[in-house]
Structure 1
Amino acid sequence: MTQLPALSIAFMSPWTDRTGRFSPLKCAAFIGVLAPAAWIAIEAQQGWLGARPVTAAIHQSGLWAVRLLAMTLAVTPLRSALRWSKLIAVRRILGVSVLAYAGLHLLLYMLDQHFDIAHVGSEIVSRIYLVIGFLAFCALCILGATSTDGMIARLGAPRWTRLQQLVYPVAALASVHFFMQSKLDVSEPILMAGLFLLLLAYRLEQRWRGDLSPWRVAGLAALAALATAFGEALWYAVSVRAPFLLVLGANLDFSFTVRPCWFVLGAGAILLIARLLRPLMTPAGPSPRGRIGAMSAYPKTP
């Protein structure tokens, strides 16, 4: 019972740790997840969203939901690479923000449809990309509702941990939804899909082989970047009949833009640098595999 006040403070204040003390890391994360929403509001107020402001806001909120989902999934690999246990403190903030931006995305879509619930429902069931997006949102709601200390205690750590694996289907559904509504320019959907692939591959490799050496991290980064490049070329070859090899070769041409595969490679390089910096970090006890049992009681987000 003596822990309840501290937990209550931590719950009410996103910028405090579990003991109720101010956490600069959590405060920075909290400000960071609020910044995109604040910028969308400023753009709307200043008339910077163009001729169709609601449509632009719908796209921006959805884009940030996907970006924050990638950041949420990146917390555990970065924590593992650095052995920096404090990084886990921002995962709940990031995960809840994904749900918040996805909810804003849906709310703005309903606003665009003049809150005609019957029409919104008929649109969702008649358009496959909306069905996919709505399924992802429902899964996010489940993850968000079970992210509290109370729900972890009710479900039990093993069952709750299995439930949290829904985040991977959510990432897949979000990627497909993003692809299908992007029409011609799929650069950012390709980029996000490549990042999700990199992060998922890291987690799977870690589960199978334990701690990853720098060489393995570098290999995963290279493979994820290659898969992104081939995926982009295949998408354009199938969707608009563009020559596969021509699109693939465009990844080596930096005259106009940097292709998604290089950003994926850059994300992999960040993981590699984090792994190389591990000796400079304060030791955090036993290896991640040995800490799984201890971590199971700590609330985490999708």
Structure 2
Amino acid sequence: MPSSRPAFHPPWRDRQGRFSPLKLAVLLACCLPALMLAWRAAQGELGGRPVMEAIHATGLWAIRILLLSLLVTPLRQMLRWPRAMLVRRMLGLAALFYALAHLLLFMVDLKWDLMRVASEIVLRVYLAIGFTALLGLVVLGITSTDGWVRRLGGRRWQALHRAAYGIAVLGLVHFTLQTKLDVTEAMLTAGLFLWLMGYRLLAPKGGAPAPRRLLALAPLAALGTALLEAGWYGLATGVPFWPVLMANLDIAFGFRPALWVGLAGLGMAMLGLAGRWRGAAAPVLRRQPG
């Protein structure tokens, strides 16, 4: 009697078992940070506290890749590129891999003293927040298979996996709290997340927002990033709110996170315009005689 279980396909193949250059490229890209980190460790380039450096690096890549997984839907909609969805699960699992490596290295740093690991997580707020985010990623990773989609049903599965937004918020809070003083990269990452959430608020069901909305989203996400950074410094260090806010919006102080987020938002708006032009041009090209 033939088995009803789906055939296993290597991660560089699609659901039909065909080789996918896109999946292979994303798989290699996801492995690259780990390989680079291992190479730096082997060369003794991780500084005086190599394990701590590796802890920070794996945590940073976990949140970066999680945000990339949230970027898949906007890319699919703006570029009218359904095949982008082939790599969303892979990116989510890669984020889980780096988050688990982050925890494992933390345990290594504490010399595998599990009682101390548990007490640190319970007593330190930023560690408790990060651990909660990791547990959420584990749940999403376990339920990411087609079998779980069938068990839960499409609607319930989608509702469960919307928890990725909350997990990203927890990860960003953990990142910011453990960074302490220089939160430049944490604020940049938070600003990009603001853009991703703004996109979802503006997008009609199943489609991309209109170009004018994407253009408006760029400065709004930049302003939101500036407000976040100014608010953080005001609450955490007592630095006055307004000078930090003005510094974020003034290029004379260099490119602060808000400006980078604004530029990224404008770039995505241009991408959306290109995708709309491509979609409008495709029927005309198909109608032209051979």
> Normalized against structure 1, the TM-score is what?
0.87
- The aligned residue for residue 18 of structure 1 is 15
- Residue 51 of structure 1: which of 35, 42, 48 is its match? 48
The alignment status of 1:250 with 2:247, answered yes or no, reads yes
Structure 1 residue corresponding to 2:145, chosen from 148, 152, 175:
148
Residue 237 of structure 1: aligned partner = 234
Q: By how many angstroms is 1:109 displaced?
A: 0.2
**Residue 227 and residue 256 in structure 1: after superposition, are their counterparts in 2 closer, same or farther (change >3 A)?**
closer
Match of residue 110 from structure 2? 113
Q: Which moved more, 1:245-254 or 1:229-238?
A: 245-254
- What's the CA shift string for 1:205-249, capped at 9, x where partnerless? 225796411000111121111110121112112222222222122
What is the rounded CA distance, in whole Å, between the counterparts of 2:164 and 2:264 in structure 1?
20
- Residue 267 of structure 1 and its aligned partner are, at CA, apart by 2.3
Structure 1 regions of 5+ residues with no counterpart? 286-302
Kept in 1, the 8 Å contact 2:89–2:144? The answer is yes
Amino acid at match of 1:219: A
Q: In structure 1, give the amino acid aligned to 2:154.
A: A
Aligned to 2:126: 129
- Aligned CA distance change for structure 1 residues 158 and 3 (closer, same or farther; 3 Å): farther
Q: How does 1:20-35 map to 2 (within 5 A)?
A: 20-35=17-32
**CA distance in 2: counterparts of 1:181 and 1:150, whole angstroms:** 37
Residue of structure 2 in register with 1:67 after alignment: 64
1:276 is aligned to 2:273: yes
Summarize the Cα distance change of 1:51–1:257 in structure 2 as closer, same or farther, 3 Å threshold: farther
Of 92, 96, 103, the match for 2:93: 96
Find 2:84's aligned residue among 70, 87, 93.
87
- CA–CA separation in structure 2 for the residues paired with 1:210 and 1:34: 31
The CA distance in 1 between the partners of 2:37 and 2:57, in whole Å, is: 8
Asked which structure has the greater RCO (Cα within 8 Å, sep 6+), the reply is: 1
Structure 1 CA distance for aligned equivalents of residues 54 and 266 of structure 2: 32
The one-letter code of the counterpart of 2:164 is V
Q: Answer yes or no: is the 8 Å Cα contact 1:84–1:281 preserved in 2.
A: no
* Same amino acid, percent of matched pairs: 48
- Further displaced range: 231-240 or 132-141: 231-240
**What is the RMSD of the two structures over their aligned residues, measured on CA atoms?**
2.2
Match of 2:257 among 260, 264, 269: 260
Letter in 2 for 1:113: L
Do structure 1's residue 225 and structure 2's residue 251 form an aligned pair?
Answer: no
d(CA) in 2 for partners of 1:267 and 1:122? 40
Gaps of 5+ in 2: 283-290
Determine the structure 1 residue equivalent to 2:7. Answer: 8
Contact 2:230 2:245 in 1 (8 A): yes
* 1:22 alignment partner, SS class: coil
Say whether the 8 Å CA contact 1:84–1:282 is kept in structure 2: no
| Alignment partners' CA distance in 2, 1:204 and 1:238 | 28
Q: Distance in 1 between matches of 2:138 and 2:14?
A: 24
Query: How far off its partner does 1:251 sit?
Result: 2.4
CA deviations over 1:40-84 (Å, ceiling 9, x no partner): 100110000000000000000000001101111111011111111
Shift of 1:187: 0.7
Deviation at 1:156, TM superposition (A): 0.9
- Are 2:188 and 2:225, in contact at CA under 8 Å, matched by a contact in 1? yes
For 1:111-135, what per-residue CA distance to the aligned partner results, in whole angstroms no more than 9, with x for missing partners? 0011111110011001111110000
249-258 or 172-181, larger mean C-alpha shift: 249-258
1:274 deviates by 1.8
Residue in structure 2 matched with residue 300 of structure 1 by the alignment: none
SS in 2 for 1:8: coil
In the alignment, what sits opposite 1:182?
A: 179
What is the CA-CA distance between 1:265 and the residue it aligns to? 1.4
- Normalising by structure 2, we get a TM-score of 0.91
Structure 1 partner of 2:200: 203
Question: How far is the alpha carbon of 1:24 from its aligned partner?
Answer: 0.9
- Taking the aligned partners of 2:257 and 2:36, their CA distance within structure 1 comes to 25
CA distance in structure 2 between the aligned counterparts of 1:106 and 1:243, rounded to whole angstroms: 35
Q: Distance in 2 between matches of 1:73 and 1:37?
A: 21
